[in-house]
Amino acid sequence: MSEDIRMGPVRLIQGIEVPSFFYGTAWKEERTEALVLAAIEAGFRAVDTANQRRHYYEEGVGHALSKVLGEGRLKRGELFLQSKFTYAASQDHRLPYDPDADYATQVEQSFSRTLKHLGTDYLDSFILHGPSLGQGLAEADREVWRAMESLCKSGSVRLIGVSNISEDQLRLLIEFAEIKPAFVQNRCFARTQWDSEVRKQCRDHGIVYQGFSLLTANVSELNRPIMDQVTKRHGCTKAQAVFRFALQLGMIPLTGTSDPEHMKQDLSVYDFAFNADEIAMIENVAA
C-alpha cells in the first residue's frame, strides 16, 4: 500500500474514492444534527450511522445532510455515507422493519428507511452491524449478506462490509461471500495490538479496516509514558497521535467527538508522521 493512499485524506477502494477519516454518530441523540453539521464544517466528508434507534438517530443525520445539500454547500457525491443493518436482538422497540419477515425483507425494509432518513437514493457503504451469533455464522448471516450483495449488484449500495466480527467469523464470511466485504469495522483495543489478527486477515484479503473507540477503549494505555514521549516530540495531543498511528497502519479511524475544536484537531493529523520505531512503540503500548 503506497504512502499517499494510506496516509492522505482520500484513498481509493475498489475504484471508489473514500475519505480516510470518518465521523461517527453513535450515542448523539438530539445533538446528532448539530454535531454532523459541525463535523462537515470542520472538514469531515464521511459520516457513519446505523438504522438502530437504540444507539443512533439516523434521521438527525439526515436533517443535517438536508441542510448542507439543500443550501448547496456540498453535492451528494462529495459525501461518503455509511449505514448499517442491525438484527432485532440489538434493537429496542423502535424497529425499522417487520421482525417476523424473512431476513432479506428485513434488510430491504431497513435499507429503504435508511435512504428515506438520509434523503438519498444510494449508500456509499452498507454494513452488517454484527453477526447474529457470538461465535461462528448462522444461516441468518448468510441470508442477510446475500440481500446486501443484491443491493450492491443493483447499484443502490457501492460497497458492503461487516462490523463487530472476530477473525474466525470473518474467515467464514470470506469463504461463502460472492461479494467480499470492502470494510471491517471493529472496536479497536490496544491490548490486542489494535486488533492485529483481524487487521492481518483484512490485509491478506484486500479488506479495509475501520477502527472505532480508539480513544475510549484505550484510556489506560493512552496514559503510558510512551504516549507522553511521542506527543511531546510531535507537539500533538494523544487523540491526534492515536488517529495518526491508525492512518499509518492503513486503518480508517472513526471519531465521535462532540467538540468542534477537537474535530479540527483530528483532521490535522495529515500534517505530521511517525517513524517506524514510533509506530512499533504505539503498536505495543499495552505490552
CATH code linked to domain 3-283: 3.20.20.100
Q: How many CA atoms lie within 13 A of 144 on its CB side?
A: 26
Backbone φ and ψ of 16, nearest 5°: -110, 130
172 beta partners: none
Report the distance separating Cα 58 and Cα 50, nearest Å.
6
Which of 105, 78, 23 has the alpha carbon at shortest distance from 56?
A: 23
Helix (H) / strand (E) element for 125: namely strand 123-128
Q: Give the DSSP letter of residue 207.
A: P
Predicted confidence at residue 49, as pLDDT, reads 99
Model pTM?
0.95
Q: What is the pLDDT along the chain (287 residues), one digit of tens a residue?
A: 233 333 468 999 999 999 999 999 999 999 999 999 999 999 999 999 999 999 999 999 999 999 999 999 999 999 999 999 999 999 999 999 999 999 999 999 999 999 999 999 999 999 999 999 999 999 999 999 999 999 999 999 999 999 999 999 999 999 999 999 999 999 999 999 999 999 999 999 999 999 999 999 999 999 999 999 999 999 999 999 999 999 999 999 999 999 999 999 999 999 999 999 999 999 999 99
- The rounded distance, in Å, linking the Cα atoms of 105 and 111 is 10
Distance CA 173, CA 170 (A): 5
Distance of CA 184 to the CA centre of its chain: 8
Burial 176-213 (b: 16+ CB within 10 A, else e): ebebebbbbbbebbbeebbbeebbebbeeeebbbbbbe
Residue pointed to by grid coordinates 479511524: 253
Q: Where are the domains of the chain?
A: 3-283
The b-or-e profile of 26-60 (16+ CB within 10 A means b, else e) is bebeeebbebbbbbbebebbbbbbbbbbebbbbbb
What is the per-residue pLDDT for 8? Answer: 63
d(CA 119, CA 61): 10
